[in-house]
A and B are shown apart, each in its own frame.
Chain A
Amino acid sequence: MSLEDAFADGPAFIPYLAAGDPDYESSLEYVEALERGGADIIELGLPFSEPIAEGPTIQNAVVRSLEGGMTPTRFFEFVEDLDVSVPLVCMTYYNLIYRYGDDHGPRPFVEKAASVGIEGFVVPDLPAEESGPLREACDEFGLDLVFIVAPTTRGERLERMMEQVSGYVYVQARLGTTGAQTDVSDQTGASLDRLAGYDVPKAVGFGISSGEHAQRIVRSGADGIIVGSALVDIVAQGHEAGDDSETVADRLETLARELKDGAVAGASQRPPHPERT
């Protein structure tokens, strides 16, 4: 199933976890729990040592995963070991993609990712201006390249990005780095308005942590929601408390379901939109 198809039957719920956090085996269980909870697409983080776009929650997850021995090679094994049927998106930083294989450049990484069943990429430190080679490799192997639209993105930059994007657009709800928030910024509405003319699903992320948030975001026009830090928090707390992986997986599934239900409820409350009918 392609990424865009995942948006066909209503709002898509897109959770994120760092692969291998806090260890390989538990992480497999956690990702699978997200699918049981209603995930339509899963963003899997491949940890990089300098995650400059992440807040403390995901940064710490990255540290745990790297300390547990996660590498690009292990990551591809992880994807193969996963028992999920929803599309997977690899979220990582460009140096890992660029350095993979013997010849420098993104092609070997993309080829390998395609062979294990990855459907697309989110690369937070790769703006549209530098993404030509990765876009080319994605086209060659049939993968999507998701771009992040910030509240500050407009004009020519937005145009350039929208020419290259495929799968869905990641709409950053507020400025800053990733991290769960108690409030969801009203910058989201403005960003969605700017994107209204583009025919690609819009998924909103950064700061969503509850079903109520999810509902509000979808009601305001999002085609999907992306949730990372609130889920990573559950992993971190379970790890610190020494809880068994089954218990943590249950918690993840519960929050996932709440978020998915919130998104679905939000869609049903959406005022009729002329462009959507």
Chain B
Amino acid sequence: MSTDGKFGDYGGQYVPEALMPAIEELEDAYERYVLGNEDGFMDEFRTRLREFGGRPTPLQRADRLSDRYDREVYLKREDLVHGGAHKLNNALGQVLLAKYMGKDRIIAETGAGQHGTATAMACAHLDMPCEIYMGKRDINRQRPNVFRMKLNGAEVNPVTVGRGTLKEAISETMRDWATNVEDTHYVIGSVVGPHPFPSMVRDFQSVISEEARTQAREKMGRLPDSVLACAGGGSNTMGAFAEFVDDDETALYAVEAGGSTLDVDEDAGVAPNSASLTTGSEGILHGARTTILQDHDGQIMESHSISSGLDYAGVGPELAYLVDTGRVTAVNVGDDDALTAFHRLSQMEGIIPALETAHAFGYLERVAGPDATGEHDGLGEFVVVNVSGRGDKDLESAIEETYERDIDIAPNMDEFTGGL
């Protein structure tokens, strides 16, 4: 694994000069505390992940899915991490690191609100003041998470520029950081941004694959044939893949949001998907060279997904690199199939997944479900799906989206409400 900030040609540090000293300071702290365990940082991180975060999460056999797909399907239950998603692994790590660095203020951005709530929880737990930037549109889509952040004592700053989603919120948080760089740490929520963020966030999240690897040996007596994880920026993806990257026998599938279509309207500056790995191209966004959704001039396009957590125009540089080298296979699942999978997992396993996570299950259905041709089935006998988060936060939009679409397995609420 790279620690110099470059993954092939990807990665790097493309940030305003005013941020460079903070980036260098963070790089130094990353090397000392995270890689070097100075002052027992990693020991404390692991203890807090266990006691506050509720780790390890189970690797659970999904009995009915295993029957449906005629193979062994195991679920890595990151939805059971405190707060309901893998996001806490990273937020806790970074807020703790900021404390070790002597910073006294935390800022973060959030899309779906999962990273924002995780950061707010970690800040409350570690007694740090916290401000979260969130797009106005996302605030409207994710009200329960906004309330949760405020419950934990964080300030939530609405971002109104542009379309008011994650992309704009990241730019706004970078501006705050450039202004208050001396006392403030910016907790980036995914494996994106300038070095050392992509490596550091991967390291904090790699606890997922570290546990999964050990648990697979215990439960299956072997490593899985494949690991599936949804990919927006790519933090749960890299977390689920990191410790398997050197295991050539395990195939790795990054499932992106195919949105409503993979066709891109360059003139309108809109990509009706968030599939950067599939439909994007190389460029520089938010501090790193990576794969991004952009028009022919290099302007960043607005992305789309039914899941606001995947709705981002870029992806982590390491993930882009692993796809280029062929180690990771990038696939995508559209809004309708993700929503159907959301209902299916809820009904068959009693797990309401985040809409992000539902994309990974949508892919499983496509290649291994009853309607699959078997043609693209490279998943093998033992499959691990990373359940990156739970779907409670998505209920409002799931209700709305379900009734806008014709999802045949969706529950019928008409008998109770006389229609919605």
Residues of A within 8 A of B (CB): 48-55, 59, 63, 66, 71-73, 93-96, 98-100, 104, 124-127, 129-130, 147-153, 157, 161, 172, 175-177
Contact of A96 among B175, B181, B297 (CB under 8 A): B297
A53 to chain B, nearest CB (A): 4
Contact A99 B171 (CB under 8 A): no
Residues from chain A with Cβ under 8 Å of B300 in the complex: 49-50, 95
Judge if B58 is at the interface, Cβ distance under 8 Å: no
Q: How far is the CA of A94 from the CA of B178 in the complex (A)?
A: 18
Residue in B closest to A62 when the chains form the complex, CB atoms: B161
Judge if B413 is at the interface, Cβ distance under 8 Å: no
Q: How far is the CA of A48 from the CA of B182 in the complex (A)?
A: 27
Q: How far is the CA of A147 from the CA of B182 in the complex (A)?
A: 21
Q: How far is the CA of A96 from the CA of B14 in the complex (A)?
A: 13
Contact B17 A127 (CB under 8 A): yes
Q: How far is the CA of A232 from the CA of B4 in the complex (A)?
A: 40
Contact A98 B20 (CB under 8 A): no
Residue in B closest to A123 when the chains form the complex, CB atoms: B14
B72 to chain A, nearest CB (A): 44
Contact A177 B179 (CB under 8 A): yes
Judge if B317 is at the interface, Cβ distance under 8 Å: no
Contact of A175 among B12, B20, B179 (CB under 8 A): B179
Contact B298 A100 (CB under 8 A): yes
Q: How far is the CA of A152 from the CA of B177 in the complex (A)?
A: 13
Residue in B closest to A75 when the chains form the complex, CB atoms: B297
Contact B17 A149 (CB under 8 A): yes
Contact A98 B298 (CB under 8 A): yes
Judge if B291 is at the interface, Cβ distance under 8 Å: no
Judge if B294 is at the interface, Cβ distance under 8 Å: yes
Judge if B401 is at the interface, Cβ distance under 8 Å: no
Contact A52 B283 (CB under 8 A): no
Per the 8 Å Cβ criterion, residues 1-27 of B in contact with A are: 12-18, 20-22, 24
Residues from chain B with Cβ under 8 Å of A55 in the complex: 175
Residues from chain A with Cβ under 8 Å of B286 in the complex: 50, 52
Contact A98 B297 (CB under 8 A): no
Contact B21 A125 (CB under 8 A): no
Q: How far is the CA of A23 from the CA of B299 in the complex (A)?
A: 18
Interface centre among B16, B180, B286 (most CB of A within 10 A): B16
Judge if B77 is at the interface, Cβ distance under 8 Å: no
Contact A125 B15 (CB under 8 A): yes
Contact A177 B283 (CB under 8 A): no
Known: A96-B297, A96-B298. A127 touches B20 (CB 8 A): yes
Contact of B283 among A51, A99, A153 (CB under 8 A): A99
Contact A52 B174 (CB under 8 A): yes
B218 to chain A, nearest CB (A): 45
Contact B175 A94 (CB under 8 A): no
B279 to chain A, nearest CB (A): 16
Known: A99-B297, A152-B181, A177-B179. A124 touches B285 (CB 8 A): no
Per the 8 Å Cβ criterion, residues 295-318 of B in contact with A are: 296-300
Residues from chain A with Cβ under 8 Å of B132 in the complex: none
- Can you list, as one digit per residue, whether each of B178-213 has a CB less than 8 Å from chain A (1) or not (0)? 111110000000000000000000000000000000
B185 to chain A, nearest CB (A): 15
Residues from chain A with Cβ under 8 Å of B287 in the complex: 125
Residues from chain A with Cβ under 8 Å of B294 in the complex: 95, 99
Contact A147 B298 (CB under 8 A): no
Q: How far is the CA of A126 from the CA of B288 in the complex (A)?
A: 11
Known: A52-B175, A98-B284, A177-B178. A130 touches B14 (CB 8 A): yes
Residues from chain A with Cβ under 8 Å of B21 in the complex: 150, 152-153, 157
Residue in A closest to B20 when the chains form the complex, CB atoms: A127
Contact B18 A175 (CB under 8 A): yes
Contact A153 B297 (CB under 8 A): no
Residues from chain B with Cβ under 8 Å of A124 in the complex: 16-17
Residues from chain B with Cβ under 8 Å of A150 in the complex: 16-18, 20-21
Judge if B105 is at the interface, Cβ distance under 8 Å: no
Show 30 A/B contacts (Cβ-Cβ < 8 Å), sorted by A.
A48-B299, A50-B167, A50-B171, A50-B285, A50-B286, A52-B16, A52-B286, A53-B18, A59-B161, A93-B284, A98-B298, A99-B296, A99-B297, A124-B16, A125-B16, A127-B13, A127-B15, A127-B20, A147-B17, A150-B16, A150-B20, A150-B21, A151-B18, A152-B18, A152-B181, A153-B21, A157-B24, A172-B18, A175-B180, A177-B175
A265 to chain B, nearest CB (A): 29
Residue in B closest to A176 when the chains form the complex, CB atoms: B179
B171 to chain A, nearest CB (A): 5
Residues from chain B with Cβ under 8 Å of A148 in the complex: 16-18
Residues from chain A with Cβ under 8 Å of B337 in the complex: none
Residue in B closest to A104 when the chains form the complex, CB atoms: B282
Q: How far is the CA of A18 from the CA of B201 in the complex (A)?
A: 36
Contact A52 B171 (CB under 8 A): yes
A63 to chain B, nearest CB (A): 7
Cβ-closest 6 pairs across A and B: A99-B298, A176-B179, A150-B18, A53-B16, A152-B21, A95-B284
Contact B298 A95 (CB under 8 A): yes
Contact A175 B17 (CB under 8 A): no
Residues from chain B with Cβ under 8 Å of A98 in the complex: 283-284, 298
Q: How far is the CA of A59 from the CA of B12 in the complex (A)?
A: 25
Contact A49 B13 (CB under 8 A): no
Contact A125 B14 (CB under 8 A): yes
Interface centre among A53, A95, A149, A172 (most CB of B within 10 A): A95
- In addition to A50-B285, A129-B12, A157-B24, 4 A-B residue pairs with Cβ atoms within 8 Å of each other are A52-B171, A130-B12, A175-B180, A176-B178
Contact A125 B175 (CB under 8 A): no
A74 to chain B, nearest CB (A): 10
Q: How far is the CA of A38 from the CA of B284 in the complex (A)?
A: 36
Q: How far is the CA of A176 from the CA of B178 in the complex (A)?
A: 5
Contact B14 A49 (CB under 8 A): no
Residue in B closest to A51 when the chains form the complex, CB atoms: B171
